[in-house]
Structure 1
Amino acid sequence: MYKMIIVDDEDEVREGVERLTDWKRCGFELVGDFSNGRDALEAVERLRPDVVITDINMPYMDGMELAAHLSALYRELKVVILTGYEDFEYAKQAIKLKVKDYLLKPINLQEFTDFLLKMKRELDDEQSRMEDMSALKQRLNESFPLLRERFLEKLVTVPMTEHDIVQKLDYFHLSIEGPAYLAMLLDLEDADTPPVAAAYGDRELLRFAMLNIAQEIIEKEHGGIVFQTNHDKCVALLGGAAEKIAVDAQRLAAHASEAVRKYLKLDVSIGIGSFCQTRRELRISYQEACSALDYRFLLGIGSIISIHDVEFGRRMSTSSYYEFEKKLMAAVKTAKAAQASAILGDWFLELKQSGATPGNCYGYLHRILAALINMITQAGFDDSKLLGDDPFATIPALKSVDQMKGWVDETCRSVIAFLSEQRTHVNNTQLEDALMYINDHYSSPELSLQQVCQHVFLSLSYFSSLFKQHTGDTFVEYLTRLRLDKAKQLLAGTQLKAYDIAERVGYADPQYFSVIFKRRIGMTPKEYRATMKENASP
């Protein structure tokens, strides 16, 4: 059964359609009807309909504006225009907004029933295409030649010249245009768990289904390249303008995540690297995407994580020692104490076998400690609070390689604990700053989530995740409740008119304020004031 909502400011149209239509026979459930686009847009996130039928001419937000918002936010949602105007300009605009179909008023019951049955068949076909695992398996056997996959894996893991990259891209008929480039890494969650394995039977097929979805969204919409790694993850390589490629990456990641959740009923975690200036530097962006993905244990599975949200500093170069240092620092940054211990164990074993002199060993310890201090400093914290005023003074007392390993291991664990605690404190401080900013600016109708994020210097997705964890509400829920609480105080304690109160709490449209107030409080502002007066009288 597919879910549908109807948006029309004519009550008789909505009531007639709801009452006369045999929804069950047509394969639909009417989950909501609304008189304006603004209320409908707010409800879509909660109701998650498959189809929205909307009139064009409505108060607060018309059908075209609603269609534009829905097209941008919900890729899989079908929008149908309902109107009495056969206007070519409207038709051209609707086509640009990816409107699915049109219905003309007055609505004929038989025509509307036929339309619903046709829409159900189309939705069934679309669902079947995405869920037909046997068809996907056939595509798996026929697609992605081995040499193409090997080249793409090499592109993001080992150094290559720009000439070789261009030559190989042309040979495999691949294209990624700059001037800026960026890598994303997608990992399907829970594909190996027994319930999922029992439901689908083939985890490789599930991963190929995720690859297929990512290609449909990213390659076809953005012109990027998507491929599967040897570790069963998906890599997406994007190209575009430097000023918008990071925004495009966040948008495409959100669409891919939503589609995987809808069709596969699983979450996908996505790491996003920083943009670079040449295709040969894509391997650096890919390494950053891998590091960003490691932070999902902090933010929860199904997160979209940019390296800029979590990375303290850039890695160093690639000699034998610096390769070890890079791995160790990455483990410390992502709070992986066991992995850090394993890296140290391998390194100190190699150090023993190499015949390094005591002077070399002490030099390595100084470098490791300097790297840890640099990490703490770049994170914005005072290293002396953890390591003391002269942490290097303890090194000469270490008399063996084993003692050195134990000391570095303990120091790394201490740094991990310190950074985790400080990061939590910083996040809480930024959220408290955001709440203060919202409380100071709630009366502005222009207050937005993006404005608050810019104030606290966090990305939209990262801030939204932290805000929800901290307050239990989304930004819109919190702001609406705050404004209405302020409105209730003014209604109970002053004689201000409702339109004055609406303006003071951030609503430019008094009528819309009254609608929101009644929906959330259960009575109009006038009724609420009267009730407060009655309760206050002796």
Structure 2
Amino acid sequence: MTEARLTLCIIDDTDDVVTGIATAIPWGDHGIDVCGTATDGMAGLELIRSLRPDIVITDIRMPMMDGLEMSRAVLEQAEACQIIFITGYTDFEYAQQALKLGAFDLITKPFSTSTVLQVVLQAQKELLEQHRIQEHYREMESKIRHSLPILRQEYFQLLLRYPTSSERAKQRWDFLQVEMEAAHFAVMVIEIDDFTERCSSLPIHEVELIRFTIQNILEESIAPLTKGLVFRDGIDRFVAVINANGEEEASVLADLCRDNITQYSKYSVSVGLGLMAERIEQLPSAYEQALSALSFRFYSQGNTLLRFRDFESTHGQTLKYSLDKEKELFLSMYSGNGDKAVEALELILQEFADSETMLEPQYMKSVHYELALMILRAFMEKVPYDKLSVLDRKVKDSLIDGKVSLQDMRLLLKELCREGCKLVTQLQATSTQSFIDQAIDYIKAHLHDNITVQECAKTVHISASYFAGLFKKTTGMTFTQFLIMERMEKAKAMIVAGAQVQEVSAAVGYEDRRYFSELFKKHTGVTPTEFRSAYIK
């Protein structure tokens, strides 16, 4: 980087001195330009005011106005230049005054050009260093000015989380050029409804554009009505700190922000509003209150204003539900009756809904989560865990999801009941089929015996009446109908294979041949002999 050239003025009442200093030294080679000369203090002062040189070489004793008086006038007007005085050995008192005025250096007469050059180059070095420092400060100030919005946001994020006194805050307040009044605050926490779900598949630049749009609408909604600051507080959340003359005014503005976002974007927001913070020290409390109010979005589907004042009385309250309804729910689940289980669950949920006040969302989430775990544990008594693992994962995910709503939790509970009952029913059907398959194998192996319902039921270790009902439900036939059908099918196979009717009759459990023939004809429409004739030529 090329260093800037400096300018030099020479003032002395002796022309030879002025000419000698101006021409005998190759100032241009050293980055210095002689911009003007004068031969008395008055002319020198006008010269300095006009040209504003970086360095001034001046004699102390001059007509019209001496060098000290001239320098004093220059410095009073804050002219930034390095002044080098030329003085004689007898001017000791003047020299002291010159140093008090802030002279850079003194050159005593007689002097050489090399001495002058050496002193001026020292002054040049110091000036260039000052310029470098000043440029650095200017760059820093420029960066700070451009960074002020971010610095203000960061500062307010600290103010919302860590209490500080108004006195301590005032210094930073002024430095950051905060335009708000340092009192009478309202804090709003604004959350974009269902933002994660709606934007999960969008490119990052589109997500950022959405967030920018929402913030811009908030700022433009607030700016015409009051002073305020809007900044991001998470992926889908903003905070607005505003000056307001009371909570009602803040509520109106919060509703305006919510309505404008709905109108001018494709999104809706929920707004949590804390109590008024009259002093800076109260900002953390107002912020926590706004977050607490926003948590009651759990009860809604979004696009709503939630004021902390409206929920203050709910803290510490609990609820209970009827144990009889719980028993009815579990009985329905154990039987695999999904519709009846959901009906019993809805009665419990209705007891929750009949509560006179909206209880704290975190408490309500815990209650619903505990109910979900109870439902899962009940199903685990009937269904292996590996078949319930998907439902278990959904329950755990709902606990982790900080944005889950009351409606989401209720839908999850109903899904647990329905899907769990389906699994119970499937396992019951599988178990029943297993019983019936065992019984059918037994029947087929004992067609020649005089087997009964009681005998078959005993083989699968259930009562005869329950077995008879399961058998008909599964096969579509009574035990007797199925037994006759199997006997007739075996009889057909034996007749076609050439067995004698008497042999066939005994093989399928009928000692009386005539009774067997009548039963065979009733079942097939022909006698055993006619059946044989139809297949054997």
Structure 1 length as normaliser, TM-score? Answer: 0.34
Q: Whose Rg is larger?
A: 2
